[in-house]
Chains A and B, each alone.
Chain A
Amino acid sequence: MAEPEQPEFARERHVLFLEAMASELPADYASQEVNHLTLAYFAVAGLSLLRELDSVNKDQIAKWILSFQVHPKTDNELDNGQFYGFCGSRTTQFPSTNMKDPCHNGSHLASTYSALAILKIVGYDLANIDNKVLLSSMRNLQQPDGRYAF
């Protein structure tokens, strides 16, 4: 094959790589498991940038993302100082009913961003998200000096 005069963007290879990642990540990513939604965001957002979202099952992705959302059981729980967003992975999403002494609900601010971004990218109607719960409980993460705990 002739050497191209100018380096060209290997578009097809990027598409194939991102499609593979959107389906299954190699074992080396196990050490990033707590950031699973962020990994998913890079795969889905990358395909979106390349206009190749038709190759993924958007409904399945949306369902998968929504399964990471943490809901307060009652409105009173909103006052317990916790954040009700999305967990970043299964490992950090231990169902509290199964546990002897749950420590926190596992919501993670950066992963919540990834979740919402993915939902928007795949065309999920964000009006179905309870943004009131998200926003009011997010305030619990703000530190006295203005910074946010994750």
Chain B
Amino acid sequence: MANEVCFRTLHLDTPWSLEAYESVGGYSSLKKIIAGKLTHEKVIDELKLSALRGRGGAGFPTGLKWSFMPRNMPGNKYVVCNSDEGEPGTFKDRDILRYNPHQLIEGMIIAGYVMNAEVGYNYMRGEFYEPYDRMESAIAEAKSKGYLGQKILGSDFNFELHNHMGAGAYICGEETALIESIEGKKGQPRFKPPFPANYGLFGRPTNVNNTESYASVPVILEKGGQWFLDLGKPNNGGTKIFSVSGHINNPGNFEVNMGTPFADLLEMAGGALGGTKLKAVIPGGSSSPILPIDIMMGLTMDYDAIGKAGSMLGSGAVMVLDETTCIVELAAITAHFYYEESCGQCSPCREGTGWMSRVINRILKGDGRAEDLDNLERVATNIMGRTICALGDAAAMPVKGFLKHYRHEFEYMIEHKRSLVKG
């Protein structure tokens, strides 16, 4: 079965409407909570049982994260959604926002209830005008029905939800940069600790989750943590939306069970574009190291399996590459991206991403030197673990991956001043 969780309205006309969402059981979890049939402890227990892990890329257990929030601390607390979708290859949150906004809204209201927070912000990337309009209408609909706002469904629980827009910065997908950005500043990540659960937005306890994570919550509470867990694999509960793109016949989002064999996902996406031979896959967004197709064909799509193979599931962005792909060119695009998006705060990342980008471009231009590959490896190694946030690692890991599996393509280009693949 596909489209069981975040995309469960997708088969309906106007899947984004409140009517469509209610027809599949939407807002019933909230009603259960308001009726006192589901305590905040029970919500967290169900989430822990479900093995829902952060869908933004890090895969941190959502139930555990929610339990860190000091719900009894007096004063404001915030629920923040990270809809700053920007990891290259990822386009799932845009579709949740466009096609099932109410489920995200319900997930955030429930989070507000569990954490005793009365205000939420949904941070969307600045280009998301269409999703913004959908979200604004959905918020208005939810308010008119009493699901959102003051005295929700006649109870004493209040929760206001606001959309916030970014203005073009990949780094704002990092949770503390995102918080800085809502505060109206440059998106430069903060040191952790203190973690957002203690010192977050406006210095108050804050929970940040990805769009897909929040949107999974209402269904987990409706059908039970065990049901969700059983969809996937132990420690990798539920379904996951995979954004499949690249050299593929039928690119798009596929919400399938965690642990689905890659070969099945590939088939769903229509196989290699024009029937060509596939070469490799970037399995979890451009930060995840590339894996040759032979390795990928033997893997299942879950955090543990992809992790064991030396890459990561990340945001679920599966970029499929056929045999015409020149890995040096691919490396140049990737390195340029991180160079462009480094916030400039930490020297290893600010300088290192520039070095990597320039060295790879030099090789691409035919000016590569014999020592370049060792230098690349060294720069990547020296960035890793030496920066405030994960962007440094995200820039270094793919470069290491390209060199690990396709070093010969780089060597060939340095020696022959042309691409092994494209000639």
A binds B: no
